[in-house]
Amino acid sequence: MGTMADSVFIEDSELINRAASGDTTAFDTLMRRHNQRLYRVARSVLHDEADAEEAVQEAWWKAYNHLKDFRSEAKPATWLTRIAINEALMHRRRNKTREAVIQPMYQDQQTQDTMPMDEFSQAELSQALPATSQPDQQAWRSELRSLIEKRIDSLPDIYRSVFMLRGVEEMSANEVAVVLDLPEATVRVRFMRARRLLQEALRHDIDQRAKDAFSFAGARCDRILANVHARMKAAQALKP
């Protein structure tokens, strides 16, 4: 079967060919390489971690059983992502506690919305915060990440999957159009609208939490008090 030690250099299409010939290690490598993308897109549809994992697992099983049907002219990542999207949609149809299926992709009422907007992405916003080992600032970064995830979850269905693929996974507009069976222009409009909605929601969230920035409490505050008291005690000891 081979050790696949050089798997990082093996193209997806070659991994599919090997897996189709019975190389399970090649299929494992393919799964590890694309699991995050498939999970994210399934999560964008299902709003639930457990449901998303189940959908991804089923998507991989279907992909495994159709490896020989893969056409070499297709892009493997696109093929796999479409399988995951379809499985997530079917999972949601079966789950009566979720809302109805995503609206038909061509029924976009906002196709005329082309207003310019400030640049925004999850990576850009996260990277804007300085790297630090301070616990309070790490907590702030974690809080921001949670806010972003929460707000992505709250996007309307027709925008959420587009943003997840275009903004988080950084797929091209053309790739997203193929995966979601949308006109490329519609992908661009929905992505722009999704970023606008996220900007507005996050601006409100951050304004509400800004008062907690650069906090100086807990262990750091106690340490300052202890050090000052130590100096006071030392000074007292020097008095005649």
Per-residue pLDDT reduced to its tens digit, 152-161: 888 998 899 9
- DSSP character at residue 133: -
| C-alpha torsion sign, points 74, 75, 79, 80 | positive
Residue 135 has pLDDT above 70, yes or no: no
Q: What is the rounded average pLDDT of the residues 63-88?
A: 90
Q: How confident is the model at residue 230 (pLDDT cuts 50, 70, 90)?
A: confident
Q: What is the rounded average pLDDT of the residues 49-55?
A: 89
Q: How confident is the model at residue 116 (pLDDT cuts 50, 70, 90)?
A: very low
Sorted by where each begins, the domain ranges of the chain are 7-94, 122-214
Average pLDDT value for the chain: 77
Taking the C-alpha atoms of residue 35 and residue 175, their distance in angstroms, rounded to an integer, is 18
Taking the C-alpha atoms of residue 148 and residue 2, their distance in angstroms, rounded to an integer, is 41
Residue 5 has pLDDT above 80, yes or no: no
Cβ proximity of 163 and 152 under 8 Å: yes
Q: How far apart are the first and last CA of the chain?
A: 84
The answer as to CATH 1.10.3720.10 being correct for domain 7-94 is no
> 97-106, 163-172, 175-184: which has the minimum mean pLDDT?
97-106
List, for residues 54-75, the tens digit of each pLDDT value.
999 999 999 999 999 898 777 8
Residue 105 has pLDDT above 60, yes or no: no
Spacing of C-alpha 112 from chain mean position: 27
Q: pLDDT value at position 106?
A: 38
The architecture (CATH level 2) of 122-214 comes to: Orthogonal Bundle (1.10)
Q: pLDDT value at position 102?
A: 40
Residue 119 has pLDDT above 80, yes or no: no
Query: Which pTM was predicted?
Result: 0.62
Where is pLDDT greater, at 83 or 94? Answer: 83
Cβ proximity of 41 and 164 under 8 Å: yes
Encode burial over 136-175: b for 16+ CB neighbours within 10 A, e otherwise.
bbeebeeebeebbeebbeebebbbbbbbbbbbbbebebeb
Q: pLDDT value at position 124?
A: 46
Q: How confident is the model at residue 139 (pLDDT cuts 50, 70, 90)?
A: low
Residue 240 has pLDDT above 50, yes or no: yes
Q: pLDDT value at position 32?
A: 93
Q: What is the rounded average pLDDT of the residues 138-167?
A: 82
- Rounded-to-5 percentages of helix, strand, coil across the chain: 70, 0, 30
